Structure formats: structure tokens, C-alpha cells
């Protein structure tokens, strides 16, 4: 990307100290929920963070939303570093980064009217006239396809899909640069998902906003995003432009996810990749490559001892797997020669 990214995350880590009891003795341990994650979200683009539960995608979202503080690493929105924001800079950040959560039933305060919910990012950050606020609320409600005349209603008068539209209207009201969409359609009815996804896509262009999409459904990621990063146990294992990733997944874990995804037609035959076991506990992650205990393509000892680096493959497709070490080495060699 030529222009400066909207969001730049570098070396992000979030380790939670936990205490456990083992044989009646207290042991201190660390959960590495997010363990060195870096990515950019380009202006007006969508990056999908894909992974199973416990992979750290939700914690990453919380860190960017400043609902939690990173152990180390930086998050930059444009030129501002998110750490230790105060006063005007803090208010500005709060206006610029918004979120839409998974469950539209719990993410809208049942005791607030739609207009209060939608205008909250506006009213808490700076003084605006009532007329401005009313006009903006009507504008964003219209944009998400709701009747502005319903602004006086309470959330329970709306269906799930409509509530998700209200949440989006609220997120858009302060004209943000980045909206984090945390599984925005997975709790909606199937017949509502398509209209909601189309709405998200349409409004992205209209409001020129970037999305960070947290999602477990690969097909949704493909439809919604420009770029995809696959996470496993707190690390990004593969990161590429959406079309590159879907046309040629490289990491064995990504391949396994593809194989496990449900087909769109009974005649779709998928490569049978049987992943045995479950995601290991992030308290005691495996040595070397975090995926090696379940990996069907394990090469050998190197997988158990050495953490593979996230390296660029063919110039644009980043993957962290020893399978592609030779290729990377060859590339470096040829560059040197």
C-alpha cells in the first residue's frame, strides 16, 4: 500500500498472569493470549482476523479498542500512538475507532432509546448542539436503512438484524476511521446475514471507513475482506490478500480450516485433512511451531524446536511454516547472488 495505513499494529502482545493449583501448590503461569502480532489495516480496506476460539483474535480487538492494555507492542492509528492517550487525543481516538459486537441483543442498552444509543459516541466526546445531533442520528439511521422516525423507540421493538443496523449506525455516527466488526453476522438469522453483510460493504465505501473483521467463518471472510490474517494460539500463521489466500492457502493449519469448512454444495469434494485433537492450552503452548502437535505435514524435529518466522512467500503471501523455509532461503540466496 502506498498511502499510510489507517491502523498499524506492531509486535502486539498480551500476556495474562494466572495462578493455578497443581498438587496443592500454587504455580504462577502466563496465558499468552496474543503473542507478537503485527498487521496493517489500509484506508477504506477490510482486514479479516480468522481463527478458532482461543486464538487471540478477540483479545487483539479489545487491545485496539483500548478496553485492555497490551503487555508490549504498539498500536498506531494514523500518527497517534494509542498508549497513554489523554484529554483531546483520547477523545479523538474514541471518536475514530468504533465497534460492532456479535450479539445485537446484548450490545444495545435495553433502557435507552435508539437515538440515545446512536448518538452516544457524539455526545460523550464533545459538545454539540441538539440540532446537529438529531440531524446526524437521522442521517446515519437512514444510511443503515432504518426509518429515522423510529429514533424514539427502544431496542426491544426491533428484530436482530435491525438491532445490528442500529449498532452500525451508532458506530458510524462519529465518522470513525476504523470499525471493529466482532463476528457481526454470526448470531443473525441466515436470511438476514446477506443483507447485513451487503450493508456493511456498501457503507464502507460511503463513509470511507476501514474494517477489522473478527470472524471464524472463512466464507464470510472471503466475501467481506480485502486481506486475511489467520491466527493460531496468539500468533498470525498466515497473512495475505484475500484472493491469494483463498486461491492458494499455504499454512497446514489454514489448509485444515479450509478442509473443515462446510461445503456450499453436496458435490463439493474437499481434501480430507483430519486434524486430531484440539487446540492446546495457551497456558502451556507447544514448543517450536505452536501447530506441530496437530500438524499433518510436520517435517521433523525442526517443527518441535524452532518457532518458524512469518516470512513472505513469492513476494506477497506471508506464512510461518518450516515447509517454506527452503524456498525462503533460496530466495535470499538468489537475492544475494
**Which parts of 146-185 interact with other proteins (CB under 8 A)?**
146-147, 150, 153, 156-159, 161-162, 165, 167, 170, 174
Distance of alpha carbon 296 from the chain centroid:
27
Nearer to other proteins, 4 or 109 (CB): 109
The only residue of 24, 28, 268, 333 in contact with other proteins, by rule CB under 8 A: 268
The contact mask relative to other proteins for 215-254 (x = CB under 8 A, - = no) is -x-xxx-xx-------------------x--x--------
Nearer to other proteins, 7 or 257 (CB): 257
Assigned C-alpha cell, 333: 540466496
Indicate the helix (H) or strand (E) that contains 313.
strand 311-313
Min dist. Cβ of residue 53 to other proteins (A): 6
Burial category of 282 from C-beta neighbours within 10 Å (exposed 0-12, middle 13-18, buried 19 and up): buried
Q: Does 102 bind other proteins (CB under 8 A)?
A: yes
The contact mask relative to other proteins for 296-315 (x = CB under 8 A, - = no) is --------------------
The only residue of 106, 208, 305, 332 in contact with other proteins, by rule CB under 8 A: 106
- Candidate ranges 5-13, 14-22, 35-43, 271-279; the one touching other proteins (CB under 8 A): 271-279
Q: Does 256 bind other proteins (CB under 8 A)?
A: yes
Min dist. Cβ of residue 334 to other proteins (A): 33
Question: What is the CB neighbour count within 10 angstroms for residue 327?
Answer: 13
Strands in 46-50's sheet, in edge-to-edge order, are: 97-100, 178-182, 210-215, 46-50, 227-232, 235-241, 317-319, 311-313
Question: What is the CB neighbour count within 10 angstroms for residue 247?
Answer: 10
* Ramachandran quadrant class, 256 (left: phi over 0; alpha: psi -120 to 50; beta: rest): alpha
Amino acid at each position: 500500500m502506498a498511502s499510510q495505513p489507517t491502523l498499524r499494529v506492531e509486535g502486539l502482545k498480551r500476556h495474562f498472569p494466572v495462578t493455578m493449583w497443581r498438587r496443592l501448590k500454587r504455580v504462577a503461569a502466563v496465558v499468552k493470549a496474543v503473542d507478537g502480532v503485527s498487521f496493517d489495516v489500509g484506508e477504506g480496506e477490510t482486514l479479516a482476523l480468522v481463527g478458532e476460539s482461543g486464538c487471540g483474535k478477540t483479545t487483539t480487538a479489545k487491545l485496539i479498542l483500548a478496553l485492555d492494555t497490551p503487555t508490549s507492542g504498539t498500536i498506531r492509528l494514523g500518527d497517534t500512538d494509542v498508549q497513554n492517550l489523554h484529554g483531546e487525543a483520547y477523545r479523538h481516538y474514541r471518536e475514530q475507532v468504533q465497534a460492532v459486537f456479535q450479539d445485537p441483543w446484548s450490545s444495545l442498552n435495553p433502557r435507552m432509546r435508539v437515538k440515545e444509543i446512536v448518538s452516544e459516541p457524539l455526545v460523550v466526546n464533545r459538545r454539540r448542539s441538539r440540532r446537529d445531533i438529531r440531524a446526524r442520528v437521522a442521517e446515519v439511521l437512514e444510511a443503515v436503512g432504518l426509518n429515522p422516525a423510529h429514533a424514539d423507540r427502544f431496542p426491544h421493538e426491533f428484530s436482530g438484524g435491525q438491532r445490528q443496523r442500529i449498532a452500525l449506525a451508532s458506530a458510524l455516527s462519529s465518522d470513525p476511521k476504523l470499525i471493529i466488526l466482532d463476528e457481526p453476522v454470526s448470531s443473525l438469522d441466515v436470511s438476514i446475514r446477506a443483507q447485513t453483510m451487503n450493508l456493511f460493504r456498501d457503507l464502507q465505501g460511503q463513509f470511507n471507513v476501514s474494517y477489522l473483521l473478527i470472524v471464524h467463518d472463512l466464507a464470510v471472510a472471503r466475501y467481506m475482506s480485502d486481506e486475511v490474517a489467520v491466527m493460531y494460539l496468539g500468533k498470525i500463521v498466515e497473512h495475505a490478500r484475500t484472493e491469494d489466500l483463498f486461491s492458494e492457502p499455504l499454512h497446514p493449519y489454514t489448509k485444515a480450516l479450509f478442509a473443515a469448512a462446510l461445503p456450499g454444495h453436496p458435490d463439493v469434494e474437499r481434501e480430507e485433512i483430519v486434524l486430531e485433537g484440539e487446540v492446546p492450552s495457551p497456558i502451556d503452548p507447544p514448543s517450536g511451531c505452536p501447530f506441530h502437535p496437530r500438524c499433518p505435514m510436520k517435517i521433523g524435529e525442526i517443527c518441535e524446536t524452532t518457532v518458524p518466522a512469518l516470512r513472505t512467500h513469492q513476494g506477497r503471501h506471508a506464512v510461518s511454516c518450516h515447509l517454506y523455509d527452503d524456498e525462503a532461503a533460496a530466495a535470499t540466496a538468489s537475492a544475494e547472488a
